[in-house]
Amino acid sequence: MINVIASIHIKEGRLSEFIEIFKSNIPNVLEEKGCIEYVPTIDVPTGLPPQESNNNVVTIIEKWGSLEDLQAHLSAPHMLAYKEKVKDLVDKVSLRVLGEA
């Protein structure tokens, strides 16, 4: 199993539009082979050090059965359609693919 943390930086004022599009694609992703978890999250300001909050970042927490499952996910037709829909809403994306220590 692998864990994925994807940080999606959204353009100012476009967060709710992005979240609506993202959430509409979740059922498709959950049906994919190897998808264990796929959850969008946003920062909850707590004042706890060393937390860094950003109101324009959506962090996706994902779990996949294998790296091959993740690779298939990235090129799935519904993901290509999603990327096209959000391309003008996103500033940048960073990805961390993690295994157990």
DSSP letter for each residue of 20-64: HHHHHHHHHHHTSTTEEEEEEEE------TT----TTEEEEEEEE
**Considering the domain boundaries, does residue 30 fall inside one?**
yes
- Asked if residue 68 is part of any domain, the answer here is no
Residue 48's pLDDT is what?
Answer: 94
What predicted TM-score, i.e. pTM, was given to this entire model?
0.93
pLDDT tens digits for range 70-82:
999 999 999 999 9
Residue 58: domain span? 1-43+54-62+90-101
CATH assignment of the domain containing 4: 3.30.70.100
How many domains is the chain partitioned into structurally?
Answer: 1
Higher pLDDT, residue 3 or 47: 3
- Mean pLDDT, the chain, rounded, equals 97
Q: Tens digits of per-residue pLDDT, 13-34? A: 999 999 999 999 999 999 999 9
In a domain, 32, yes or no: yes
The answer as to whether 71 is a domain residue is: no
> What was the pLDDT predicted at 46?
93
